[in-house]
Amino acid sequence: MRKQLYLLMALIMALSGAVNVRAQCTLIPSSISVTTTSCSTANATWSPFSGAAGYEYVVTTTAPGASGTPVTMASASLSGLAPSTIYFLYVRTECAPGVFSPWTPPFTFMTPSCTCDVPTGFTVGPVSCDSVAFVWSTPSGASGIEYVVNTSPVPPSGSGTFTSGSSAAVGGLSPLTVYYVHIRTVCSGGTYSAWTSLIVTMPACPCTAPTGFSVAAWACDSVVFMWPFPGGYSDWEYVVDMSPVPPSGAGTPASGPAMGVGGLMGGSVYYVHVRTNCGGGTYSAWATMIVTTPPCAACMPPAPASVVPGPTTAMLSWPAVTGVMGYEYVVSTSTSVPAGAGIGIATSSVSVTGLLPGTDYYFFTRSVCGSSSYSDWSSVQAFSTSVSTTVSGTPPAATALIFPDPASALVNIKIPGGLSGGGYITVTAMDGRVVKHVSLHGDMVTLDISDLSSGVYVVTMSDESRTLHARFIKQ
């Protein structure tokens, strides 16, 4: 019984001592202040106590709990707050480890709402006939703005062009058109302000005639002319005639800064007139430039062709006509002059295939002298396809062998049975000139053709009893 009494007295004394210690921590914080820094953050301060081990604070919308957030300084950064909310801040001093003062009375503060303000100082200018500039001030804390320029007064439903600057300009606009400039603030957390808009009416661009007008190229029957873009416009009209007087009526519409006109006469003076289409039925004055087309060379037909026929092919060649662009030809079984176009080629020779053996054909050719400019058809050239290279006289027909074909330096001619005494070989160009003439005894000869021009050549091999004809191509 005595032992239990001693234990009870010891417990009472211990509890009494603890109460005394806690009663000694009367350093209750004062001069509490809270400054909101955003809609979700704030800074809190209070008067410090010398020798205090630290402090605890609680931010709540109700009463404080048994413990708070410890800090060593008489201040705290508050975060994670809800916007537009009333909060209570409680603070207590830690006088010694585990020994705290009572909580302060609640310090009441309210967080502001999180708003994304529209840009301020929004103005439009300068404005030209096809561009507009605008300026603004971005609200503090925002990352930038978005802008849209269109012809609708309705605020955009989507996003715009972002910029972190305080000005922007948009070009490529149409003169005499009403536009709306829309801007909005881009705030943190992917939020935006409402759109704010200004209206602007684009002025008319000066309706000036094209300048820097020049002729880029011309032929005897055509002309190409060009001009730079006047600002704000992309449509024009042009007239090419033989009068220096500006046209009294409309011209041919054009949408580019260059145009070509054909069907002109060579050696003639023409006037190229161009004016700007400024829209709304208004036009600039005509700008006029004079140009003289060069004379067109006489478009001469080719001379008669030389023909080397085969059983199903024919090699045709004629002297080149100076100054022409090319030729057209027709191979027909009719002697009638062609009524339409022929087959176009760039060279003065052609190999025709797909012919019928032993058939009479008629060859026509004409010069191509320019755009839609042709000579008359040449005189008809008649020829007949054959079955093989023939030999006249006796012994019976045989075929000469010429190799290589085509050749560039040397050509070998082998004659079955050879040529008897007095035999010769003649090489003739397609224009009728004899370019080689050599005597031959035997059945084989090699000719040096390196001095000949490229083309088709006819070889005649003859003695007292027979004559052979063949041809080769010199590369």
| Peptide bond between residue 126 and the one before it cis (omega within 30 degrees of 0) | yes
As a whole number, mean pLDDT of residues 297-322 equals: 82
Domain assignment of residue 227, yes or no: yes
For the ranges 356-365, 366-375, 383-392, the one whose mean pLDDT is highest: 356-365
Task: Give the list of residues 6+ apart from residue 29 with CB closer than 8 angstroms, or none.
Answer: 46, 47, 49, 55, 74, 91, 92, 93, 101, 104
Residues 402-439 pLDDT 10s: 878 788 888 888 887 777 666 788 888 766 677 888 88
pLDDT of residue 431: 62
pLDDT of residue 399: 62
Q: What is the rounded distance in angstroms from the CA atom of residue 252 to the CA atom of residue 262?
A: 14
Q: Are residues 361 and 329 in the same domain?
A: yes
Q: What is the rounded distance in angstroms from the CA atom of residue 325 to the CA atom of residue 312?
A: 29
The two structure tokens encoding residue 6: 């001693």
Q: Are residues 49 and 88 in the same domain?
A: yes
CB-facing half-sphere around the CA of 303: CA atoms within 13 A: 10
- Compare 224 and 229 and report the one with higher pLDDT: 224
- Specify the range with the lowest mean pLDDT, choosing from 110-124, 226-240, 312-326, 341-355: 226-240
Identify the band that residue 17 occupies on the pLDDT scale cut at 50, 70 and 90: very low
pTM (predicted TM-score): 0.35
pLDDT of residue 258: 78
Q: What is the rounded distance in angstroms from the CA atom of residue 397 to the CA atom of residue 242?
A: 68
Identify the band that residue 46 occupies on the pLDDT scale cut at 50, 70 and 90: very high
Q: What is the rounded distance in angstroms from the CA atom of residue 239 to the CA atom of residue 225?
A: 11
Q: Are residues 130 and 197 in the same domain?
A: yes
Phi, psi of 113 (to 5 degrees): -75, 150
Decide: 46 and 34 in contact? Cβ < 8 Å.
no
Is 80 exceeded by the pLDDT of residue 266?
no
CB-facing half-sphere around the CA of 68: CA atoms within 13 A: 26
Domain encompassing residue 420: 391-474
Domain assignment of residue 76, yes or no: yes
What DSSP designation does 76 have?
E
- Compare 387 and 400 and report the one with higher pLDDT: 400
- List the beta strands (DSSP E) in 280-390: 282-283, 287-292, 306-309, 314-317, 326-332, 343-345, 349-352, 360-370, 373-374, 381-384
Domain assignment of residue 17, yes or no: no
Q: Are residues 32 and 103 in the same domain?
A: yes
Amino acid at 24: Q
The two structure tokens encoding residue 2: 């005595």
| CATH code of the domain covering residue 406 | 2.60.40.3080
Q: Are residues 26 and 106 in the same domain?
A: yes
pLDDT of residue 312: 79
DSSP H or E stretch at residue 391: strand 391-393
Domain assignment of residue 99, yes or no: yes
pLDDT of residue 109: 92
Residue in 248, 230, 231 with CA at minimum distance from that of residue 239 = 248
Task: Decide which of 75, 110, 145 is a domain's last residue.
Answer: 110
Mean of the per-residue pLDDT values for the chain? 81
Task: Decide which of 84, 110, 136 is a domain's last residue.
Answer: 110
Q: Are residues 125 and 99 in the same domain?
A: no
Q: Are residues 51 and 79 in the same domain?
A: yes
Q: Are residues 278 and 316 in the same domain?
A: no
Q: Are residues 449 and 407 in the same domain?
A: yes
Q: Are residues 286 and 221 in the same domain?
A: yes
What DSSP designation does 141 have?
T
Task: Decide which of 384, 411, 432 is a domain's last residue.
Answer: 384
Residue in 335, 385, 329 with CA at minimum distance from that of residue 358 = 385
| CATH code of the domain covering residue 173 | 2.60.40.10
As a whole number, mean pLDDT of residues 137-152 equals: 91
Is 50 exceeded by the pLDDT of residue 374?
yes
Q: Are residues 443 and 424 in the same domain?
A: yes
The two structure tokens encoding residue 323: 């100054």
Angle at 287 between CA 284 and CA 290, to 5 degrees: 165
Q: What is the rounded distance in angstroms from the CA atom of residue 51 to the CA atom of residue 57?
A: 18
Q: How many domains are contained in the chain?
A: 5
Q: What is the rounded distance in angstroms from the CA atom of residue 204 to the CA atom of residue 296?
A: 46
Q: Are residues 401 and 342 in the same domain?
A: no
